[in-house]
Amino acid sequence: MDYNEEKFKEHIKAVVEASQSTDDTLEERPLTLKELKELAISMGLTEEQWNDLQTKAHEHLKAADDHLKARNFREAITEAEKATAINPYIENSNAVLAKAYMMLWLQTHEDLHRDKAEFHARRELKVDPRDQIAVNVLSTIDKKRRILAGDSNNRKRLLIIVGVVIVAIILAVILFNRASAKKEDDLQTTQLTQENQFIKDQLIEAEEEVISKWDMVQIQIDRRNNLVPDLLSVIGSSDEDATALNESIENLKAEIAQAEGERKFKLMNDLDAKVQEMKEIANQNPNSENVKTLMVQIEGSENRIAYEKKLYNDAVKEYNILVKKHGEKFPEYEIKPYWSSN
């Protein structure tokens, strides 16, 4: 039978694993090293080859121990497993594996490495219950486990405390934001009230300015109209056209007194036209000094009327701009008509 070292190692591994099963129904007992040697001889190994394998197992274990001291834990595990693959009962192999896995676990915190460290430590203690390395491995794992459990509990407590603090902060922020929002709303309301009052004051002032300018227009119109009867008396009451115009003028003045808005302006324009007709009749007597004097006075009044009308329209413009901007807030203020010459 040809000898195959790798095949032998795999077979030995399978036999050992089966014999170490925790299944209570398993009737097979673990093979001794002597029995493993007999099994190897039956698979074709010679005595010399068996001895060479044992030497190689010790070389792998020595390399594993060297790697462990150099803190090359993964390499230590690899070499130790090669040793146990040849001789599962080689002395201290499980101790080396236990320590290597434990040190690796302390680096990685992976449960698999911790479990393997415990497994190999317990296997070592079955062979040598007083093995100090295996005892130290189990003790270290147990202490570390308690520390981690304590850290976990402390972490939970810390998380609870942090959570409570965060909730308290959130509640404080919410209350502060609400208070700030209320304060901001109150401030905005105050500012809005002040702003509205300011706008209303502007509207009041603008409307009063329109009324004032209108009064000035009215004064100049009345002054001009008061000169018309004097002009008629100079022309003479025998002039039928002048008398008819004077009657029309008086009727328009009565209508104007009752009219409002654009109708009032239209009637005033009609009155201006009638006064113009009266002036044309008066111009038919150009040599009369009285006529000349009255004509100069009437024209002076009309120039002043035109000037005051412009000032009135300017005031209406300022007022209307404010109404268009803020009329929705103050519906009691309405657009006013301009005085047009049409």
Percentages (nearest 5) of helix, strand, coil residues in the chain: 80, 0, 20
Provide the CATH number for the domain around residue 322: 1.20.1440.20
Residue 153 confidence (pLDDT): 64
Please indicate, yes or no, whether residues 207 and 108 belong to a single structural domain of this protein. no
Q: How confident is the model over 158-208, as pLDDT tens digits?
A: 778 887 888 878 887 888 877 766 776 666 666 768 888 888 888 899 889
Please indicate, yes or no, whether residues 108 and 214 belong to a single structural domain of this protein. no
Could you give the C-alpha distances from 132 to 79, 202, 326, in angstroms and in order? 21, 99, 95
Assess if residue 158 is contained within a domain: no
Per-residue pLDDT for 303 more than 70?
Answer: yes
Residues 6+ apart with CB under 8 A from 329: 196, 199
Residue 311 confidence (pLDDT): 93
Please indicate, yes or no, whether residues 145 and 198 belong to a single structural domain of this protein. no
d(CA 338, CA 249): 23
Residue 324 confidence (pLDDT): 92
- Residue 126 sits at φ, ψ, to 5 deg, of -65, -35
Please indicate, yes or no, whether residues 139 and 275 belong to a single structural domain of this protein. no
Per-residue pLDDT for 302 more than 50?
Answer: yes
CA-wise closest residue to 243 among 202, 300, 281: 281
Assess if residue 172 is contained within a domain: no
With beta carbons less than 8 A apart as the criterion, state whether 335 and 320 touch.
yes
Provide the CATH number for the domain around residue 100: 1.25.40
d(CA 317, CA 321): 6
d(CA 101, CA 107): 10
Please indicate, yes or no, whether residues 120 and 202 belong to a single structural domain of this protein. no
Please indicate, yes or no, whether residues 216 and 98 belong to a single structural domain of this protein. no
Per-residue pLDDT for 340 more than 50?
Answer: yes
Residue 271 confidence (pLDDT): 86
- Record the tokens describing residue 142, joined without a space: 């147990």
Q: How confident is the model over 33-44, as pLDDT tens digits?
A: 788 788 778 877
Q: How confident is the model over 206-224, as pLDDT tens digits?
A: 889 989 988 898 898 888 8
Residue 1 confidence (pLDDT): 38
Residue 25 confidence (pLDDT): 40
Domain with 205 in it? 194-326
Confidence of residue 240 (pLDDT cuts 50, 70, 90): confident
Say which range, 141-145, 282-286, 293-297, has the weakest mean pLDDT. Answer: 282-286
Please indicate, yes or no, whether residues 223 and 143 belong to a single structural domain of this protein. no
Q: How confident is the model over 120-143, as pLDDT tens digits?
A: 989 888 878 888 888 898 988 888
Please indicate, yes or no, whether residues 33 and 139 belong to a single structural domain of this protein. yes
With beta carbons less than 8 A apart as the criterion, state whether 141 and 117 touch.
yes
d(CA 172, CA 205): 48
Confidence of residue 17 (pLDDT cuts 50, 70, 90): low
Per-residue pLDDT for 238 more than 80?
Answer: no
d(CA 166, CA 91): 57
Residue 9 confidence (pLDDT): 64
Assess if residue 245 is contained within a domain: yes
Please indicate, yes or no, whether residues 209 and 128 belong to a single structural domain of this protein. no
Per-residue pLDDT for 295 more than 90?
Answer: no
What is the pTM assigned to this prediction?
0.44
Residue 158 confidence (pLDDT): 75
Residue 15 confidence (pLDDT): 56
Tally the C-alpha atoms within 13 A of residue 15's C-alpha that lie toward its C-beta: 22
Assess if residue 235 is contained within a domain: yes
Assess if residue 102 is contained within a domain: yes
Assess if residue 55 is contained within a domain: yes
Say which range, 34-38, 110-114, 189-193, 338-342, has the weakest mean pLDDT. Answer: 189-193
Q: How confident is the model over 248-275, as pLDDT tens digits?
A: 888 988 888 888 878 888 888 888 888 8
Q: How confident is the model over 50-102, as pLDDT tens digits?
A: 888 889 989 999 998 999 899 999 998 999 999 888 888 888 889 899 999 99
Please indicate, yes or no, whether residues 128 and 207 belong to a single structural domain of this protein. no
d(CA 233, CA 168): 97
d(CA 196, CA 306): 36
DSSP letters along 158-182, please?
HHHHHHHHHHHHHHHHHHHHHHHHH
288: exposed, middle or buried (Cβ count in 10 Å: 0-12, 13-18, 19+): middle
The amino acid at residue 114 is R
Q: How many domains does the chain have?
A: 2
Residue 14 confidence (pLDDT): 60
Please indicate, yes or no, whether residues 198 and 317 belong to a single structural domain of this protein. yes
Please indicate, yes or no, whether residues 208 and 93 belong to a single structural domain of this protein. no
Residue 244 CA, chain-centre distance (Å), reads 81
Mean pLDDT in the chain?
81
